[in-house]
Amino acid sequence: MAVIAFGSLLFSCNSPEPGKVEEKDFKFQVDQFADCKVLRYQVPGFDSLSLKQKELVYYLSQAALCGRDILFDQNYKENLTIRRTLESIYSDFTGDRTTNDFKAFEVYLKRVWFSNGIHHHYSNDKFFPEISKEYFAYLIDNSAKAQWPLKDNSETTEAFKTRLTDLIFNPNIAAKRLEQAEGTDMVLASASNFYDGVTQKEVEDYYEAMRKPNDNQPISYGLNSKVVKENGQIIEHKWHSGGMYGAAIDKIIYWLDKASTVAESDNQKQMIVKLIEYYKNGDLKTWDDFNVLWVEDDSMVDFVNGFIEVYSDPMGMKATWEAVVDFKDVEATHRAEKISSAAQWFEDHSPVDSKFKKAVVKGVSAKVITVAQLGGDCYPTTPIGINLPNAGWIRRDHGSKSVTMENITYAYDQASSGSGMLEEFCYSEQEVKRAKEFGPMAGNLHTDLHECLGHGSGQLLPGVTPEKLKNYHSPIEEARADLFALYYLADPKMIELGLIPSLDVAWAEYDGYIRNGMMTQLTRIELGKNIEQAHMRNRALIAHWCFEKGASENIIEKKTRDNKTFYVINDYQKLRTLFAELLKEIQRITSEGDFAAAKKLVETYAVKIDPTLHKEVLDRYAALKLAPYGGFMNPLFVPVEKDGKIIDIKVEYPENYVEQMMKYGKEFSFLPNYN
pLDDT 10s digits, 520-572: 999 989 899 999 889 999 999 999 999 999 999 999 999 999 999 999 999 99
pLDDT at 4 over 80: no
Query: How many CB atoms lie under 10 A from the CB of residue 180?
Result: 24
CA distance to 404, 491, 507, 574, per residue, from 496 (Å): 22, 9, 17, 22
Q: What pLDDT is stored for residue 15 in this prediction?
A: 35
pLDDT digits (tens, 9 = 90+) for 238-296: 999 999 999 999 999 999 999 999 999 999 999 999 999 999 999 999 999 999 999 99
Query: How many CB atoms lie under 10 A from the CB of residue 646?
Result: 14
Helix H or strand E encompassing 326: strand 320-328
pLDDT digits (tens, 9 = 90+) for 303-357: 999 999 999 999 999 999 999 999 999 988 988 899 989 999 999 999 999 999 9
Q: What CA–CA distance (Å, rounded) separates 242 from 245? A: 8
Of 136, 119, 125, whose CA–CA distance to 73 is shortest? Answer: 119
Question: What secondary structure, in 3-state letters, does 600-633 show?
Answer: HHHHHHCCCCCHHHHHHHHHHHHCCCCCCEEEEE
Q: What's the pLDDT band for 519 if we cut at 50, 70, 90?
A: very high
Is the distance from CB of 466 to CB of 316 less than 8 angstroms? yes
Q: What pLDDT is stored for residue 1 in this prediction?
A: 64
Cis peptide before 149 (omega within 30 of 0): no
Is the distance from CB of 634 to CB of 7 less than 8 angstroms? no
Q: Which residues pair with 196 in a beta bridge?
A: 228
Of 12, 43, 7, 30, whose CA–CA distance to 638 is shortest? Answer: 43
Provide φ and ψ at 563, rounded to 5°. Answer: 65, 25
Cα angle at 50 between 369 and 57, to 5 degrees? Answer: 50
Q: What pLDDT is stored for residue 279 in this prediction?
A: 98
Of 232-246, 439-453, 579-593, the range with the lowest mean pLDDT is: 439-453
Of 182, 66, 187, 188, whose CA–CA distance to 472 is shortest? Answer: 182
Query: How many CB atoms lie under 10 A from the CB of residue 457?
Result: 26
Mean pLDDT of 437-450: 91
Q: What pLDDT is stored for residue 463 in this prediction?
A: 87
Is the distance from CB of 611 to CB of 522 less than 8 angstroms? no
pLDDT digits (tens, 9 = 90+) for 77-118: 999 999 999 999 999 999 999 999 999 999 999 999 999 999
pLDDT digits (tens, 9 = 90+) for 31-53: 999 999 999 999 999 999 999 99
Q: What CA–CA distance (Å, rounded) separates 622 from 618? A: 6
Q: Which of helix, strand or coil describes residue 305?
A: strand
DSSP secondary structure letter of residue 532: -
Burial status of residue 287 (CB atoms within 10 A of its CB: 0-12, 13-18, 19 or more)? buried
Q: Which of helix, strand or coil describes residue 599?
A: helix
Mean pLDDT of 467-493: 95
pLDDT at 10 over 80: no
Collect all residues with Cβ–Cβ distance below 8 Å to 110 and sequence separation of at least 6.
Answer: 31, 33, 34, 36, 657, 658, 661
Burial status of residue 216 (CB atoms within 10 A of its CB: 0-12, 13-18, 19 or more)? exposed
pLDDT, greater one: 33 or 12? 33
Mean pLDDT of 21-33: 81
DSSP secondary structure letter of residue 49: S
Q: Locate the DSSP E strands across 530-590.
A: 556-561, 564-569
CA distance to 65, 242, 274, 317, 449, per residue, from 296 (Å): 25, 30, 14, 25, 20
pLDDT at 173 over 60: yes
Q: What pLDDT is stored for residue 2 in this prediction?
A: 60
Neighbour-count burial for 60-87, b at 16+ CB within 10 Å, e otherwise: bbbbbbbbbbbbbbbbbbbbbbbbbbbb
Q: What pLDDT is stored for residue 14 in this prediction?
A: 35
Mean pLDDT of 13-42: 74
Torsion angle defined by CA atoms of residues 383, 388, 389 and 392, in that order, rounded to the nearest 10 degrees: -110
Q: What pLDDT is stored for residue 24 in this prediction?
A: 60
Q: What pLDDT is stored for residue 11 in this prediction?
A: 30
Is the distance from CB of 486 to CB of 513 less than 8 angstroms? yes
Q: Which of helix, strand or coil describes residue 650?
A: strand
Share of the chain above pLDDT 70, in %: 96
Question: What secondary structure, in 3-state letters, does 455-496 show?
Answer: CCCCCCCCCCCHHHHHHHHHHHHHHHHHHHHHHHHCCHHHHH
Q: What pLDDT is stored for residue 452 in this prediction?
A: 83
